[in-house]
Structures are given as C-alpha cells and as structure tokens.
Structure 1
Amino acid sequence: MYIVSVCSLKGGVGKTSVTLGLASAALHQGVNTLVIDLDPQGDSTLGLLGEPASTLDIAEVLTSPRTETIDRAIIETPWAAGAASHLDIIPGSSRSAVMDSPAPGPKEVRRLHQALDKRTHQYDLVLIDCPPSLNGLTQMALAASDRALVVAEPGFFAVTAADRALKLSVEMHDDGIAPRLQPLGLVVNRYRPRSVEHQYRLAELRELFGASVLEPVIEERVGLQQAQGGAVPLHTYEGASGKRLTEDFDALLHTVMDSRQNS
C-alpha cells in the first residue's frame, strides 16, 4: 500500500482538485485506491459522494484508531459503481478541526499511521487530502505517508509556501517522525499559459526547485470545476477540455506510481 499526502501551505491552490483528478485517473487505470479526506472542509467527500457523509468519518478514526473503526469508516464511492477496481473514501468532516493543533505531540502525530496499519482492506494507493496548513492534521498525514506531493499555484506566494511544505517533509523524515517519507515533488496547478505573470512564476519555480517541479503542469480549465461540481469522475466528463485534463492526470498518476520504485 503506497500512501501519498497531497498538501499545500495555503488554500485556494486546487489541492482537492488534484486529489480528485488523481483519483479519477486511478479508477480509469484500474488502481485500487482509498481517498482519506483529512481537510475539515470536506471537499473531497463532496466531490466523491455528492453530499456530506452520514457514516463514520476521519474524526472517529483519529479518536479511536482501531481496526473496527477504520473498517467501518471506509465506504465505496459512487464513482466506482460497475468498475473493475475500487475507489473508496474515509470521509472528512468539520469535527476533525479540533485535532488540528499547531504543535501536536508525538502520540497525536502517529494516530493516522496507527489506524492505517490496522485496516483490513487492501489498496494499491492511498491519497490523503490534507488541510491547507502544516498543522497537526497535515503532520499526521505526512507521518503515515511514503511521499508528499505539494500543490502550488504560479503566484507571488508560491515559492515560500512550496519551500516550507517540502522542507517539512524532509525534517519529519530526518527527525524519525516519518521514517518512510520522501518529497515526491511539486505540482503546479491552475496555470494560465497566456498570463505573463504565470509564465514568470513558473520559470521561477523551475529555477529554484529544478526537477522537483513535476510534469505536466496542470492548466486552469473549466472542465475540472464542472466535473467536480457534478460529482463525477473527470474521465467521464465530455466537455471540450476533458481530453487534455484526463491526459494530464493520467501522466501525473504515472509519475506518482513510478516514484514507488524508488521507495
């Protein structure tokens, strides 16, 4: 089971959009996947279920990281109906916000790791949609993960935010808190190729982070928002930008899965 945290330092960069795009690509490619919605806003839950969950959610899992709790919290998504592979979710809720301490203790940081070790369901890939901060919930995700995938937009604050997120993953590994964790790289999202500002910021990110800036860059396209607004997989969306978006997320998923070879 390969666990990837999708994280960012700030909101509004499309972190959940990247998570759902990867989930759609995984379903399309037959990769058995679990999405964990660790963001108290619960946007991944809405995107995958079409409504807030009425079952156990991640708050219960973190409060009581037992086999029975995590197994009951995992539910099949409507996206996977009739598919050959699994796409399941542990839903998020606002109740997890009480656990998002800026300075969590060692026991708190390992709660998600302990829970995932006790699940009986088997997956090829776990995608954790983190809150837009580096507080306790994101640290729990990183402590349980093999890789950290940082999402940034090509804006003025992108460099500082991306640098802090990548450095945290290295620090948690070096401190022994997340012994398996390595930075996977930086996904540049919501890129507008005709914007001179975006061109400049993308060049700046590539100059500073080199090969850590992953390809492809995800362009800002209305199809992604429309697919998510309809709570349907991107790979079933039939709008004009659907083909380009599915190609981009298929390629990004290949990058994610290929990184497993370096574990």
Structure 2
Amino acid sequence: MFTVSVCSLKGGVGKTSVTLGLASAALHQGVNTLVIDLDPQGDATLGLLGEPANGPDVAEVLSSPRTETVDRAIMQTPWSQGAASHLDIIPGSHRSVLVDSPAPNRKDVRRLREALDKRTHQYDLVLVDCPPSLNGLTQTALAASDRAMVVAEPGFFAVTAADRALKLTMEMREDDMAPRLQPLGLVVNRYRPRSVEHQYRLTELRELFGDLVLDPVIEERVGLQQAQGGAVPLHRYQGASGPRLTEDFDALLRTVLDSRQHS
C-alpha cells in the first residue's frame, strides 16, 4: 500500500479537484484505491458519493483507530460500480476540525498511521485529501504517508506556500514523525497559458524548485469543475475538455506510481 497526501497551505488552489482527478485516473487504470477525506469541508466526500455520508467517518477513525472502526468507516463509491478495481472512501466530517490543533502531540499525529495499519481491506494506493493548512490534520496525514504532493496555483503567494509545505515534509521526516515520507513534488493547478502572470509564476516556481515541479501542469479547464459538480469520474465526463484532462491526470498518476521505486 502506497499512501500519498495531497496538501496545500491555502484554500482555493484546487487540491480536492487534483485528488479526484487522480482517483478517476486510478479507477481507469485498474488501481485499487482508497481516498481519505481529511478536509472538514468534506468536498472529496461530496465529489465521490454525491451526498454527505451517513455513518462512521474519518473523525471516528481518528478518535478510535481500531480495526473494526476503520473497516466500518470505509465506503464503496458509486464511481467504482461496474469497474474492475475498487475506489473506496473514508468520508470526511466537520467533526475532524476538533483535532486540527496547530501544535498536535506525537500520539495524535500517529493516529491515521495506526488506523491504516489496522485495516483489513487491501489497496494499491491511498490518497489523503488534506485541509488547506499545515496544522494537526495535515501533519497526521503526512505521518501516515510515503509521499507528499503539494498543490499550488501560479500566483503571488505560490512560492511561499509551496516552500513552507515542502519544508514541513522534510522536518517531519527528520523528526521521525513521518519516517517513510518523501516529497513527491509540486502540482501547479489552474494554470492559464495565456496569462503573462501565470507564465511568470510558473517560471519562478521551476527556477526555485527545479524537478520538484511536476509535469504536466494542470491547465484551468471547466471540465474539471463540471465533472466534480456532477459527482462523476473525470474519465466518464463527456465535455470537450475531457480528453486533455484525462490525459493529464493519467500522466500525473504515472508519476505518483513511479515514485514508489525511489523509496
């Protein structure tokens, strides 16, 4: 099982859209995947289920990371009906904000790692959709992860936000809070190729972070929001921008899976 946290320092960068795009690509490529919605807003849950979840959720898992709790919280998504592979979710909950401390203790940070170690379901890939901050919930996700993927828009604050997120990744590894964790890289999302500002910021990010800036850059296309709003996999979306988006997320998923070889 290979666990990847999808995180950002600020909201509005399309972090959940990237998570759902990767989930769609994983389902399309036959990769058994679990999505964990750690964002108290629960957008990944809405995107995958089409409605808020009823029953055990991630807040219950974090408060009681026992095998039976984890197994009861895992739900099959409608996306995977008729598919050859599994796409399941541990739904998000507004109650998870109660454990989103800016200074969490080591025991709390280990709770998601303990929970994943105790599940009985088998997955090739776990995608954790983190809250838009670097507080306790994100640190809990990173402690359970093999890789950290940082999502950023090509804007004025992108450099500072990406730098802080990547530094937290290294600090948690050095502090032995996340012994398996390595930075996967930076996904530049909502890029507008005709924007001079976006061109400048993308160049700036590549000059500062080099190979950590992942290809492809995800361009701003209405299809991503429309597929997400309709709670359908991107790979089943029929709009004009669908083929380019699915191509980009298939390539991004290959980058994620190829990184397993560099542990």
Bin for the TM-score computed over the shorter chain: over 0.9
In the alignment, what sits opposite 2:60? 60
Which amino acid letter does the alignment assign opposite residue 202 of structure 1? L
Question: Residue 127 in 1 paired to residue 127 in 2?
Answer: yes
In the alignment, what sits opposite 1:220? 220
Stretches of structure 2 that go unaligned for 5 or more consecutive residues are: none
| CA distance in 2 between partners of 1:98 and 1:260 (Å) | 33
Per the TM alignment, residue 122 of structure 1 is displaced from its structure 2 partner at its CA by: 0.4
- Tell me the alpha carbon deviations over residues 172-227 of structure 1, each in whole angstroms, 9 at most, x when there is no partner: 00110000000000000000000000000000000000000000000000000000
| CA distance in 2 between partners of 1:113 and 1:200 (Å) | 39
In the alignment, what sits opposite 1:103? 103
Which amino acid letter does the alignment assign opposite residue 23 of structure 2? A
Q: Map 1:1-263 onto structure 2 (within 5 A).
A: 1-263=1-263
Which amino acid letter does the alignment assign opposite residue 254 of structure 2? H
Identity %: 84
Per the TM alignment, residue 107 of structure 1 is displaced from its structure 2 partner at its CA by: 0.3
- Tell me the alpha carbon deviations over residues 102-140 of structure 1, each in whole angstroms, 9 at most, x when there is no partner: 000010000000000000000000000000000000000
Q: List structure 1 runs of 4+ shifted beyond 2 angstroms.
A: none
- Tell me the alpha carbon deviations over residues 55-111 of structure 1, each in whole angstroms, 9 at most, x when there is no partner: 210000000000000000000000000100000000001000000000000100000
| CA distance in 2 between partners of 1:226 and 1:179 (Å) | 38
Give the TM-score normalised by the residue count of structure 1.
1.00
Give the TM-score normalised by the residue count of structure 2.
1.00
Once superposed, what is the RMSD of the aligned Cα atoms? Answer: 0.3
Which amino acid letter does the alignment assign opposite residue 50 of structure 1? G
| CA distance in 2 between partners of 1:254 and 1:34 (Å) | 17
- Say which SS state the counterpart of residue 107 (structure 2) adopts: helix
Q: How many residues align?
A: 263
Which amino acid letter does the alignment assign opposite residue 78 of structure 1? P
Per the TM alignment, residue 241 of structure 1 is displaced from its structure 2 partner at its CA by: 0.2
Which amino acid letter does the alignment assign opposite residue 256 of structure 2? V
- Tell me the alpha carbon deviations over residues 218-241 of structure 1, each in whole angstroms, 9 at most, x when there is no partner: 000000000000000000001000
